[in-house]
Amino acid sequence: MNLFCKKVNIKMKNFIRLLTGSGENCADIRYATAISTPDDFIYFEFNDRKCAILSALEIDRAKQNARPGVEVCQDTSFGGHGRMDIISAISGECRCKKFIVPAAFPLALADKMRAAGMEVVTEEKSFFPEREFKSQEEAAAVTASQRAAEAGFARAVEVLKNSDICNGIIFWQNKELTSEILRAEIDCEILHCGMLPTGTICAGGIQGSQPHNAGSGVLKADSPIVMDIFPRSPATGYWGDLTRTVVKGKASDIVKRAYNAVLEAREYAKNLVKTGAYGASIHCAAEAILEKHHFFTGQNDKGQFGFFHGLGHGVGLEIHEAPRLSPKAKTALKGGEIVTVEPGLYYPEWGGIRLEDIMYLTPSGESICLTKAPDFLEID
């Protein structure tokens, strides 16, 4: 028996697989059950049994929405309200004291289980490795969220087209246009598509040189505005992820050159998203394109500059999930992955450029770009 067989054997036969979390915040429990809740609940698998245990508050809705094959029970018929009571009841019913839990399982609960004589081991890698490989249905769910992101971007472009420039400041509807106003316009469009906006970035000028800066204050003309838009579907839980960078007015030479380098790097890297390709290789290929255009990465007294984040990440029930396209990604793509490709260049002197598309590598090895948003830098 080799290690792989042994692992499968442990997983399938001798251990109870246990999760605790909310449908909204724990991707694994949502993947297993399709139940979306604001509050935590408990889920376990043992042999062929799959069972979600919820409170009075959630039970009726959970029964309506649960994935076929998942049994839905009320906590009061399963040991009571406390998590330890429920887990003891599970252990008793299954006649098993061995549990496999995810790496992020809450320590205090595990310690209580161990003190009660249960064995608790963590899954070394992901709890549902199959989450990395998306079905056509899952790809359709990501695409639906991506369309909402694109509608949000189109709204931002409309606002910027209808804006005027006065003394280097952008004015919309006779008021200074701020990151906050532009973000609200994007997010409202997303809401009208039936999706949830979740922290849209509209970072102008040097704020754009910090990749996670959400942006605040008045937006300036002739300066790049990074818009990173990642809505989630409340119905399916799947995310979209889109980044575009535009300039209202005229871009400077360095911004134009950086934009073209990032666009070339993105398109080059997208073509490398194929079965058998390594995440690290794709990342490094994009970096090489940026360096070919003399955009280098490093650190000085103003902070970091260049291309200092991973090229991409998986998108599904989490906005950032496996696999990564980064220097540390040492496994090959297998087919089924949905990944972002989002090179960026960031310089504290003038700001940032990031351009992000999503690729779906189908289970049969076809490589499809799920993003339809256009690419352009300047808006008149």
What residues make contact with a copy of itself under the rule CB under 8 A?
Answer: 24-25, 37-39, 56-61, 101-111, 120, 122, 180, 183-184, 187-188, 191-192, 194, 196-199, 210-214, 234, 303-304, 308-309, 319-320
- Segments of 239-311 assigned E as strands: 242-248, 298-300, 303-305
332 secondary structure, DSSP code: B
Closest approach of a copy of itself to the CB of residue 217, in Å: 12
Closest approach of a copy of itself to the CB of residue 60, in Å: 4
Give the long-range contacts of residues 320-326, CB within 8 A, separation 24 or more: 321/27, 321/131, 321/132, 322/126, 322/131, 322/132, 323/132, 323/279, 324/279, 325/269, 325/279, 325/280, 325/282, 325/283, 326/279, 326/280, 326/283
Closest approach of a copy of itself to the CB of residue 321, in Å: 13
- Which one, 198 or 260, has the nearer CB to a copy of itself? 198
Peptide bond into 323 cis (omega under 30): yes
- Which one, 302 or 374, has the nearer CB to a copy of itself? 302
Closest approach of a copy of itself to the CB of residue 200, in Å: 10
Closest approach of a copy of itself to the CB of residue 91, in Å: 17
- Which one, 61 or 256, has the nearer CB to a copy of itself? 61
- Return the structure tokens found at 197: 């906006």
- Which one, 16 or 139, has the nearer CB to a copy of itself? 16
Phi and psi angles of residue 300, each rounded to the nearest 5 degrees, phi first: -135, -165
Burial of 120 (0-12, 13-18, 19+ CB in 10 A): buried
- Which one, 57 or 254, has the nearer CB to a copy of itself? 57
Closest approach of a copy of itself to the CB of residue 362, in Å: 28
- Which one, 225 or 361, has the nearer CB to a copy of itself? 225
